[in-house]
């Protein structure tokens, strides 16, 4: 079953148990918190999700508020049985996200290649 939704500066798809988010250039933090995060919660509650992929195309540097939302997402995903979370971002963003976020018990992977990330998130 495939699912697709989008909002102001973001898209999400679910394919074969993998939730794939894209955060696009120009997206505001408020759009993530007020628009995308409620969709994230809804999808976690209504679908069997085993892995997540987050494609980060944001222009702006990450702030403490952004890291708080990412950590909240990781904790919630872990609580709902998600096992793996791949982050697709350029080198600096991937290192920043990977080094500063508590991802609960999620196994994490950082890459610059979306296809590689989806394959990793899908693997057992």
pLDDT tens per residue, range 47-83: 999 999 999 888 766 677 777 888 888 899 999 999 9
- Give the pLDDT confidence score for residue 31 in this predicted structure: 84
- Give the pLDDT confidence score for residue 58 in this predicted structure: 80
- How many whole angstroms separate alpha carbon 87 and alpha carbon 108? 8
Strand 51-56 to strand 18-23: parallel, antiparallel, or no bridges (unpaired)?
parallel
pLDDT tens per residue, range 105-117: 888 888 899 999 9
* CATH superfamily label, 3-122: STAS domain (3.30.750.24)
Q: What pTM was estimated for this model as a whole? A: 0.87
- Give the pLDDT confidence score for residue 43 in this predicted structure: 96
Kindly list the domain boundaries of the chain, sorted by start residue: 3-122
pLDDT tens per residue, range 1-51: 589 999 999 999 999 999 999 999 888 878 888 899 999 999 999 999 999
Vertex 94, ends 114 and 96: CA angle to 5°?
160
- How many whole angstroms separate alpha carbon 13 and alpha carbon 31? 17
């Amino acid at each position: 079953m495939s699912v697709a939704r989008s909002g102001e500066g973001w898209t999400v798809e679910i394919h074969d148990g993998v939730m794939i988010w894209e955060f696009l250039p120009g997206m505001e933090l408020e759009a993530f918190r007020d628009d995308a995060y409620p969709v994230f919660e809804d999808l976690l509650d209504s679908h069997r999700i085993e892995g997540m992929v987050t494609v980060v195309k944001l222009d702006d540097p990450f702030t403490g508020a952004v890291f708080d939302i990412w950590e909240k997402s990781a904790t919630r995903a872990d609580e709902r049985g998600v096992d793996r979370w791949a982050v697709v971002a350029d080198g600096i963003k991937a290192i920043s996200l990977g080094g500063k976020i508590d991802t609960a018990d999620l196994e994490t992977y950082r890459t610059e290649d979306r296809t590689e990330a989806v394959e990793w998130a899908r693997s057992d």
